[in-house]
Amino acid sequence: MEERRKYIRRQADRDLLQRYNALIQRVQQLEAMLKGEENHELRHRKRRIIRHTCHVKIGMPIGFMSDRDDVWHVDQLNIKGRLLDLSNDGCAVFTHQQFNIDQQLNLIIEVSGGRTIRAVGTVRWTKHIPEKGGYASGIKFLKINRNDIDVLNSYLDELDRTIGL
């Protein structure tokens, strides 16, 4: 019985130490943020509500069979949408078109200064918004080239400066 109590106490001590270390690490992160020393990636991972009008063109690949052959033709249906949220990892868009979970989409996001960001993404979630007559969808970026990543980071930095972060 005494051995069991010692084991439980040791485990409780380990758990407390783990929580303490996590708390110390979080305090250090917050202090760095207050000093303005937070890194680029950490700054963009913070959730924030920013409404800045951006339009997005969504290419939805579609396939269809011609005649009686087993030949598939792939085309793209272009859909217009409005950007709701944007981060390094993905975006949320509002469209009148419903998407399926795991559906792959080609995105062209128009940001300020006539710049565009091209990316391929996959739908992670979708939500019907009847009062607006459309759908909000979360899209995770799968493919985005280096130049578009630079444009994205530049745009997010610009937004940070605009709102004073």
**DSSP result, 89-114:** SEEEEEESS---TT-EEEEEEE-GGG
The per-residue pLDDT for range 1-37, each reduced to its tens digit, is 788 888 888 888 888 888 888 888 888 877 776 766 5
CB-CB contact of 59 with 74 (8 Å): no
pLDDT at 68 over 80: no
What does the pLDDT read at residue 110?
86
Inside any domain, residue 92: yes
Pair (33, 76) in one structural domain: no
| Domain count for the chain | 2
Distance separating alpha carbons of residues 93 and 85, to the nearest angstrom: 7
Please provide the average confidence, as pLDDT, over all residues in the chain: 78
pLDDT at 50 over 50: no
Pair (28, 57) in one structural domain: no
Range of the domain at 23: 2-38
Nearest CA-CA partner of 139 in 95, 113, 105, 97: 105
Mean pLDDT, residues 117-146: 92
Label the pairing between strands 72-86 and 90-95. Answer: antiparallel
Pair (27, 55) in one structural domain: no
Q: What is the value of pTM for the model shown?
A: 0.59
